[in-house]
Amino acid sequence: MKCVAVLIFCLVACSMASVNDAAPVERKHRRARDIIYSYFEVSAGATYSVSDYKTKSSKNYYHDLKRDEMVYDKDLYYNIYSFEGYSPWLDSKAGVILIRRIALYLSFGCFWSIGEYRYKLYSRDKDEYSEDDVRLRPYWGFGIKYYPLINEQNPFSGFFVGTTLRGVFLNDNEEAWEKYGMYYEDGETLIELEMGKIWKISEHYSVGFSIKAAGGFGGNTESIDGFHVDKHPVQDEDDVTLNSKHIGVAITFVRK
Amino acid sequence: MKLSKRRFTTFALFVYVWLCCCAADCYIPDDGYYRGDIEAIKPAGVDSLEMRVINNDSVLAVEYCKSEKEESGAYFNYFQFCKVSSKNGLCDLTIDISFFCKDKKIELPTYALQIRTDSYGYPRDDFSIYFAEFDERKISGDYKLETFLAPEDTACGKFVNYAVLKVEEK
């Protein structure tokens, strides 16, 4: 049995050695070049977006101003801010593609949140404030994209899946939050998942589409030291919640 | 002069001991570590506020607040008083707060405060007490909502949200 195993090992070793010897010099060079390429991508699209920020009450007492009574509510929330609308966006990616399959990139871009912004001081309040606005959200990040099929004869060649982690600056939110006495951080972390397909239009250029889904986390209040009356409260910084959701499509131009 | 290895070691040891003695001498326990504040913050809806701090029927302090500024109030520090006056490991205080609006004086329910002290009179628990209108959106920090102190006489307003807030130092 041991002899058979040694024989199989020797045969496999010989066959591999013979394959390498037989490989032409030109093909060897080509393989080395195939390992890494530069990768650029520009895409434009739009997403349907909803955002929801709120702080869970820890004391659970609500001052009912109409009846001028204190009400205990174990499901009380305050500083409630929400958004619903559309977000057209522009994105650029630059990086490298490894073995023609795995793209690693940095991502820069921005989107505009166009829609209705709503504010409520306490969840039991009947009054709600609403504003229609357009707010710019620049971002930067990094990500990975995987092209599983590279055989151009395959009709599914150019199919990809990817994920990008982004830091988004929530411009213009701070001013609006302060107007209603709400103090959330003006940035959030966005995790985007996408899948799509590209078609070659020349040796290096491709065009395609992608479907995207993204979730934004963060938006907690800033911490301040000590006890203060008439200053904004501190929210637990470890309390990471899913604040925003986005789903949409994009047209993509790729150079690789 | 050439130092031998043994002399150098002895010299280093003396320097080390001397530095340790200096460090020990420099350490002075800080009495200010204890906050021990009692503060009644005037609601915007009243003209002025009076806070009386009482121990065994004797009035220790009468403090007023007439300021229109935010977070301004009548203030008393119980730490020094308890350090010299606690009995049987306890320092009992009662706090009477009154609101003034126009020519009316509205009294709030009395709040009793018991502070545990050690054999030297130092408070065992380091905390401060604030009396303020409660709105969770506007109060920051780690605090405990003890109770509400709404006045029975509503001539100046109901003040149902005037609360006792306990802030423990950690």
Is residue A148 scored above 80 in pLDDT? yes
**Nearest alpha-carbon partner for A137 in A211, A192, A183:** A192
Which residue type occupies A215? G
Answer yes or no: are the C-beta atoms of B78 and B93 closer than 8 Å: yes
**pLDDT tens profile B97-135:** 999 998 899 999 999 999 888 888 788 888 899 999 999
**pLDDT tens profile A58-115:** 899 999 999 999 999 999 999 899 999 999 999 999 999 998 899 999 999 999 999 9
Cross-chain CB nearest to B137 (options A181, A227, A228): A181
Minimal C-alpha gap between A109 and chain B (Å): 35
Residue A97: the pLDDT is: 94
- How far is it, in rounded angstroms, from Cα B111 to Cα B94? 6
- A183 contacts: CB under 8 Å, gap ≥ 6: A79, A177, A221, A222, A232
Residue A27: the pLDDT is: 52
- How far is it, in rounded angstroms, from Cα B165 to Cα B167? 6
DSSP symbols for B63-79 = EEE---STT-EEEEEHH
Q: Choose from B137, B146, B160 for mutation: most chain A CBs within 10 A.
A: B137
Minimal C-alpha gap between A112 and chain B (Å): 29
Record: contact A228-B139, CB cut-off 8 A: yes
**pLDDT tens profile A30-62:** 555 568 889 999 999 999 999 998 888 889 999
Q: State the DSSP H helix or E strand holding residue B42, giving kind and residue range, or none if neither.
A: none
Share in percent of chain A as helix, strand, coil (round to 5): 15, 55, 30
* Residue range A185-211: mean pLDDT, rounded: 93
Q: Order the strands of the B162-168 sheet from edge to edge.
A: B73-77, B37-41, B127-133, B162-168, B144-148
Answer yes or no: are the C-beta atoms of B55 and B81 closer than 8 Å: yes
- Position B28 confidence tier, pLDDT thresholds 50, 70, 90: very low
- How far is it, in rounded angstroms, from Cα B100 to Cα B104? 6
- Measured between beta carbons, the chain B residues lying within 8 angstroms of A63 are 134-135, 160-161
Share of chain A above pLDDT 70, in %: 80
3-class DSSP state of B8 = helix
Which residue type occupies A223? S
Answer yes or no: are the C-beta atoms of B164 and A74 closer than 8 Å: no
| C-alpha to C-alpha distances, B91 to B124, B147, B149, nearest whole angstrom | 11, 20, 22
| C-alpha to C-alpha distances, A105 to A43, A144, A145, A190, nearest whole angstrom | 14, 6, 8, 16
3-class DSSP state of A168 = strand
Its pTM surpasses 0.80: no
Minimal C-alpha gap between B152 and chain A (Å): 14
Which residue type occupies B153? D
Residue B29: the pLDDT is: 46
Residue A100: the pLDDT is: 87
Cross-chain CB nearest to A227 (options B134, B135, B167): B167
- How far is it, in rounded angstroms, from Cα A146 to Cα A149? 9
Minimal C-alpha gap between B61 and chain A (Å): 23
**pLDDT tens profile B63-99:** 998 876 666 788 898 887 887 777 888 888 999 999 9
Q: Would you tell me which residues 20-79 of chain B have a C-beta closer than 8 angstroms to some C-beta of chain A? A: 41, 70-71
Residue A61: the pLDDT is: 95
The distance from CA A103 to its chain's CA centroid, rounded to whole angstroms, is: 16
Strand-pair partners of A40 = A94, A255
Give the chain A residue nearest B154 (alpha carbons): A68
Going by the DSSP 8-state scheme, the letter that residue B85 receives in this structure is H
- Position A238 confidence tier, pLDDT thresholds 50, 70, 90: low
CA A98, A101, A105, A108 torsion: positive or negative? positive
3-class DSSP state of A62 = strand
CA A126, A129, A130, A136 torsion: positive or negative? negative
3-class DSSP state of A178 = helix
ipTM above 0.85, yes or no: no
